[in-house]
Structure 1
Amino acid sequence: MLRALRRRWDAYKYRFVPWLALNLRRKRRTLRYVPESSQDKIISDEDVFETLLKVFKALFINDFSRHAHILALLPEIKCKYLELLTVEQKRSKVNSCNHQSQHVFSPEEVLLNTLGFAVSRDRSSLVSAGTGVFVTKGFVPKGTVVSMYPGTVYRKHEPIFFQSLGNPFIFRCIDGVLIDGNDKGLSRSVYRFFHWSLKDTTHYVGGLNALFKVSSRCWSACTPPNSSVVLSPRSCSRRDQLGPFQMSDESWLTAALQNPLAVGQYVNNCSHEKAANVCYQEFDVPGYFPVELKQYLPNIVYSHDIESHLRCVVLVALRDIKQGEELFSNYYTVVG
């Protein structure tokens, strides 16, 4: 009984303001200080964007055969990635020009081949810390995006009380935006099941101009002839499907990750013995992010009542990190 209460308190205390105020001075080694919010970024947004683009393109090319039936109807996108696939095949010394015969790597292998390292979840080196994240292969240079913090994104006015109960995976951004990275319980259900939207069974023809974003707000205007639209319970992630393309990644809720970077919620807090080697950095996904690559973004907004850029949080290496090292972050950033 007491042990169970202690576990719950250990999970909750980091969101209990009086406890935080009393312990700030005592835990200086586990705090990160920045003079102002504008100086919170370790690397530029352009560097984050280019890294995500590089990894997601590599994942898309690796999955090329799986997307073949869609790309056959989208010649503009197919042409762009066929060129990249040809270059990749030459680099891998694959003699066949047929993309259907390409060697398919695991997502972890794609990450290793693209950025030079792989990360995965395993038992933490900290006693009683549960799961942690390790660099399993390769080498992480300082200033590299090493993982992403997945989950549902909530604005300050949106309901998260019940999801927050007993939930140690809620990340608070500097502007008050919250990201719920819990892959279990109610949080998992919110990400996957709670939103009703329209399921479009249209046949997509004529390239990108034939793609219809079907949502509960505009289905009557967007529904083309000769298509069937049925109401069904859908997840937040599938609510925003654009034609055949998913707008976010659900695989972080499972053991089989499509995006191998989506493990950031399991990075443990640093301690007096284990200094932080990564830090959190907020990143707003720009509107021009390639639509076909959004399927690898492990975040989705809770509600689309207000149009805004999708908030993501990446973890950036504070120093060079070697193979076998566990990732540790600062759970607290003090601004000002």
Structure 2
Amino acid sequence: MIKTLFKAFEVRWKSYRHRFVPWIALNLQRNERTLRQVKDRSKDKILPGEEQIYSSDEHKQYCDSCTVMRKTLGFCIERKRSSLQHGGTGVFVTSGHVQRGNIVAMYPGTIYQADEPIFFQSIQNPFVFRCIDGMLIDGNDKAISKIVYRSCSGRDRLGPFHLSDCSWLTSNPVNPLAVGQYVNNCSNERSANVCYQEFDVANDFPLELRQYLPNINYKSDTQRPLRTVVLVSLRDIRRGEELFSNYYTIVH
């Protein structure tokens, strides 16, 4: 019984430790080979310009989101059992191939400013992403995090228009990119093939396309740009490969 409990704790810890700040601080030196360092914040940008994430025509013409993704981007990604022993769920390229510098996935969730409460949502939650400026994105699709996201999404609805996508909370997201929270951390044996890029969606983003954005602000603020985080390919990625990011990124 004790052995079973210890094993269960070990599996949970290996999944959660990369989000635990004291553990990260103690292990930065040990993990130096897998640490992604950016010498200047202005250089932490792989996207060449203001990228168009969505195409309205394709979304109107097709119902099958994976078909749309394959047609518009040339590849499709899906959640599957990770190739890592303790990786749990991972994200794989299941069709086509990804070229270097392409947006591969998005990190969905509720967006919190540095001074907004997230204590209860963060308990046993390995999906809290910390941005460079201290903003947090809660990408957990279960428990209280799921309730908070749905509540905020219902609050910000504008007449017939949904201003965010709730389908990422299910097993079949309308926006197939919205699975970035399940991308596993790289290792010395499995190098990172994607990296995180912060991207603020301007207030003039087309209203009819906001229903595909898998993020929402915890506090309603129509004047604040919507923070999103996209995962961008660091190299060409072939069909069948699992996506790996680097949870340790230091911007000097």
What is the TM-score when the length of structure 1 is the normalising length? 0.71
CA shift, 1:37, in A, is 1.9
Structure 2, unaligned runs of 5 or more: none
1:45–1:283 CA contact under 8 A, matched in 2: no
- Once the two structures are superposed, the pairs formed by residues 250-289 of structure 1 within 5 Å of their partners are 250-289=166-205
Distance in 2 (alpha carbons) for counterparts of 1:330 and 1:186: 27
Structure 1, unaligned runs of 5 or more: 63-103, 193-234
Distance in 2 (alpha carbons) for counterparts of 1:287 and 1:305: 11
2:156–2:220 CA contact under 8 A, matched in 1: no
2:15–2:86 CA contact under 8 A, matched in 1: no
The structure with the largest helix share of the pair is 1
- Once the two structures are superposed, the pairs formed by residues 45-56 of structure 1 within 5 Å of their partners are 45-47=49-51, 50=52, 52-54=53-55, 56=56
Moved over 6 A (4+): none
Cα-to-partner distance string for 1:159-182 (whole Å, 9 max, x where unaligned): 000110110000000000000000
The one-letter code of the counterpart of 1:43 is L
The one-letter code of the counterpart of 2:135 is V
Corresponding residue of 2:140? 182
Corresponding residue of 2:91? 133
Corresponding residue of 2:225? 309
Distance in 2 (alpha carbons) for counterparts of 1:114 and 1:17: 38
1:285–1:310 CA contact under 8 A, matched in 2: yes
Distance in 2 (alpha carbons) for counterparts of 1:37 and 1:288: 26
Distance in 1 (alpha carbons) for counterparts of 2:171 and 2:30: 37
Distance in 1 (alpha carbons) for counterparts of 2:27 and 2:57: 44
The one-letter code of the counterpart of 2:27 is N
C-alpha distance 266-12 of structure 1, shift in aligned 2 (>3 A): closer
C-alpha distance 45-299 of structure 1, shift in aligned 2 (>3 A): farther
1:18 match: secondary structure: helix
Corresponding residue of 1:169? 127
C-alpha distance 45-298 of structure 1, shift in aligned 2 (>3 A): farther
Distance in 2 (alpha carbons) for counterparts of 1:157 and 1:39: 27
The one-letter code of the counterpart of 1:331 is Y
CA shift, 1:306, in A, is 7.6
CA shift, 1:27, in A, is 0.8
Distance in 2 (alpha carbons) for counterparts of 1:28 and 1:41: 21
Q: Percent identity?
A: 60
2:64 to 106, 123, 135: 106
1:53 match: secondary structure: coil
1:7 match: secondary structure: helix
Distance in 2 (alpha carbons) for counterparts of 1:331 and 1:264: 12
1:152 match: secondary structure: strand
Corresponding residue of 2:77? 119
Distance in 1 (alpha carbons) for counterparts of 2:183 and 2:69: 18
Structure 2 residue 154 is the aligned partner of structure 1 residue 238: yes
Structure 2 residue 58 is the aligned partner of structure 1 residue 58: yes
| CA RMSD, 1 decimal | 1.5
Larger Cα-atom Rg: 1
Corresponding residue of 2:164? 248
1:2 match: secondary structure: helix
- Once the two structures are superposed, the pairs formed by residues 208-227 of structure 1 within 5 Å of their partners are none
Structure 2 residue 31 is the aligned partner of structure 1 residue 30: no
The one-letter code of the counterpart of 2:145 is S
Distance in 2 (alpha carbons) for counterparts of 1:295 and 1:5: 38
The one-letter code of the counterpart of 1:42 is I
2:106 to 140, 144, 148: 148
